[in-house]
Amino acid sequence: QLGETSLSIGQTVVAATNIAHLKELLRDSSSNCVMAMVQKFQERDLQAIFPVLNTSPKILVMIDEAHRTQYGLLKANLERAMPNATNVAYTGTPIDKTERTFGGYIDYYTMRQAQEDGVTLEIVYEGRTHSASVSDAKAMDATFQDVFSEYRLSERLQILGYGTRDAYLDADTTIKAKARDMVRHYARQVFPGGYKAQVVANSRIAGVRYAKALRDAIAEEVKSLAEDNPLQVNADELRAVEVALVITWGNNDEAEIKDAMKGVDTDLIVKRFKMPFDAEEESGEQKVTGRIGFVVVNEMLVTGFDAPVEQVLYLDRVIKDHGLLQAIARVNRVHDDGKDCGFVVDYVGVGNNLRKALDAYTQREQQEVIECLTPASELIGELKVALDETLEILARNGLSETTETEAFYDLFYDEDLRFEYLTAYRKLTHAFNKALPRAEALDYFKTYQQLGAINELASQFLKDERLSMKGVPKKLRAITDEFLMSEGITQKVAPISVLDPEFQKQAEKLKRSKTKAAEVEHAIRHHLTVNFDEDPELFASFAKEIERILTEFAGNWDAIWQEMEKLRQKLMAKEKEETHGLDRKREMPIFRTIKAELFDDSVVSEDQIAKLVNLTQLVFQSVQTEARQVGFWDAVAKQSRLKGELQRILVGPDYVDFGPMWEKKATIISRIMEWSRRNHKIVIKP
């Protein structure tokens, strides 16, 4: 990867193939770039003592992943070989020795900064281990043990019937219980959003057992959902979720591992895991899908594995220091709008002993990491704050009941208030998306559903899709959609057109004059926006009329309602307007454009209209002839020829003195070209 990236610097980069080759390259005093992948070299070669190879002070040594290899004999060898070189280290997980070895930071970018910039996501940590008293064997047996802590560990494990930590973590009974818990969490918290999971097993044999246990647990969960499914999880899709195993193996491994891995294509598994669930792709001669929802690993894919579709890491292996940071970072990759955070669910007690797990780091870095892991218990607090902020906006504006639909319409008429509310509602949506399915979150969900219903109705009323439920994450949509249906609110039926004779009857059902006026205003605005490109001059005139009405009758909602209704009638009547023999859709837009540029709002005479009609016909014929050529809008030369032809017509002897034609010719040509491009199918129609 670095080799490919290095090509962009414009210099030749030579990669050392072994230690002998590296020494040869370092002796060279010419200006060049050398790359050495030291982890690829033989261990015995790395143990050899280097001689002094180059004493130049003009050498810059840049070390990537500096937390891994720079503290032993290799570091000493590099210093001996190039005693006057300047060393710069890069690492995403600096340990205590990093700063001692390389000196202070030139620059650093913390996990918190990355989250605030939106480069990575918040990580929510949830511990599943409990500290039952060793005197209470029954309680201990019912919980997952904190095996990170050494406190009375042997005694605790003996009570449970296990001699060692590995025996406990690798046991079938332990794995089955944890797998059931993982699937239950996954089915409710992660799967509804379309995201995937990684399980880090204690050992390779534990990984094999987890793969089987997870498949069984998915089948059990599907049965359970048939009886109780308040979150509307799609059980049929969950049933189709596959579990894959990615571990190293060899012929000398025990049969259980060899049987599980025989014929497994790990590269294909990684490819399928990164794909969306509903995706299908060709891979060689076979068609593959993205149905893999769980990937079980031991050491593979724990670091350096980038899969934005992964949202949860189930941790059942004791990991420390940079390995721990690399592991939890698997879930914080930005994906789509529905992925608000990543989850780390801990089954070994790392979180209970986080400072000890990060012992190789300085206190500052330990604190930064700890502050970036949000305890799951805090999600409800975030939810309450977000809900209070949303309701406070409504209360501040006299709305205390979420059933006063027309009052909401009137409130949202104010664009600034609508934006303020939308911002708060989106924050509330993100908070619910993270907090559900925690039981405490359900206490507030009815209010959220009621606000969602108001939003959908207001979206249809104000023709503002920002208020609709289309942006709600997939996990919440299933529940909110069911509520909207129960309230008789449909999201898929197109609203009545402002030109429909039934529109007035619908508007008159509203009680408030302001609400009626807003209904007509926003329906007209929506119609103008959708159809503007067809006839910019005509629809711009209607937009100006809306602003005139709102200014002239400001605050008088009865008058505004009446004037808006007159404007709507005028919009309906446009199909009956005089066209002077021109085609309404193809020539009248050009007629209006030329007329507006030459005469603005001035009254034009019959002779001037006749001249405009003739000019319009000439212009349209030229546009249609040229635009019918294949690839016209991709060919600059063809477009230039049309512009030249239009200029020849406009400033020809018949029209050069027609109003301010000479001054306006460039603007007219530009507007006609733009209209023609946007309405290509109408223009070329026979």
Q: Compute CA distances 618 → 558, 587, 645, whole Å.
A: 47, 10, 10
**428 class by beta-carbon count within 10 Å (0-12 exposed, 13-18 middle, 19+ buried):** buried
SS3 587: coil
* Domain edges within the chain: 2-108, 122-375, 379-486, 503-576, 588-684
CA atoms of 684 and 116, how far apart (whole Å) = 51
Q: Pick left, alpha or beta for residue 580 (phi over 0 → left; psi -120 to 50 → alpha; otherwise beta).
A: left
Q: Which residues sit opposite 484 in a β-bridge?
A: none
pLDDT at 563: 84
d(CA 452, CA 471): 11
- pLDDT at position 364, please? 66
Run of H or E residues at 90: strand 86-90
The ranges of the chain with pLDDT < 70 are 1-10, 38-47, 65-74, 92-103, 130-163, 321-322, 351-366, 371-372, 401-404, 457-471, 477-503, 506-507, 509, 511, 575-576
Q: Show the CA angle centred on residue 375, arms to residues 372 and 377, nearest 5°.
A: 150
3-state secondary structure of 343: strand
Which pLDDT score is estimated for 662? 92
Give me the sign of the Cα torsion angle 557, 560, 565, 571. Answer: negative
Q: In whole angstroms, what is the distance from residue 122 CA to residue 113 CA?
A: 11
pLDDT at 131: 45
| 456: phi then psi, degrees, rounded to nearest 5 | -65, -45
What pLDDT is attached to residue 251?
Answer: 79
pLDDT recorded at residue 269: 92
Amino acid symbol at 55: T
Q: Looking at residue 71, what is its pLDDT? A: 47
**Cα–Cα distance measured from residue 594 to residue 531, given in angstroms and rounded to the nearest whole number:** 19
> The dihedral of CA 207, 212, 218, 221: what is its sign?
negative
Dist CA 264 CA 254 (whole Å)? 16
Q: Cβ distance 408 to 458 under 8 Å? A: yes
Closest by CA position to 127, among listed 378, 325, 352: 352
Residue 145 pLDDT: 58
Helix count and strand count (H, E) for the chain: 32, 15
3 state DSSP class of 41: coil
What pLDDT does residue 100 have?
Answer: 61
Instruction: Give 387's contacts (C-beta < 8 A, 6+ positions apart).
Output: 428, 431, 444, 447, 448
Q: What does the pLDDT read at residue 493?
A: 42
Question: DSSP 3-state helix, strand, coil percentages of the chain (rounded to 5)?
Answer: 55, 10, 35
Adjacent-strand bridge partners of 196: 310
Distance CA 266, CA 256 (A): 18
pLDDT for residue 311: 94
Tell me the torsion sign for CA atoms 105, 106, 110, 116.
positive
DSSP 8-state symbol, 8: G
Q: Which tens digit of pLDDT belongs to each residue from 496-511?
A: 566 666 667 766 767 6
The CATH superfamily label for domain 122-375 reads P-loop containing nucleotide triphosphate hydrolases (3.40.50.300)
Q: How far apart (Å, rounded) are the C-alpha atoms in residues 293 and 311? A: 11
pLDDT on residue 139: 42
Write down the pLDDT at residue 7. 67
pLDDT of residue 292: 96
User: First CA to last CA across the chain, in angstroms?
Assistant: 55
Q: What is the pLDDT of residues 445-476, one digit of tens each?
A: 888 888 877 777 666 666 666 666 566 777 77
Peptide bond into 437 cis (omega under 30): yes
Count of Cβ atoms closer than 10 Å to residue 14 Cβ: 14
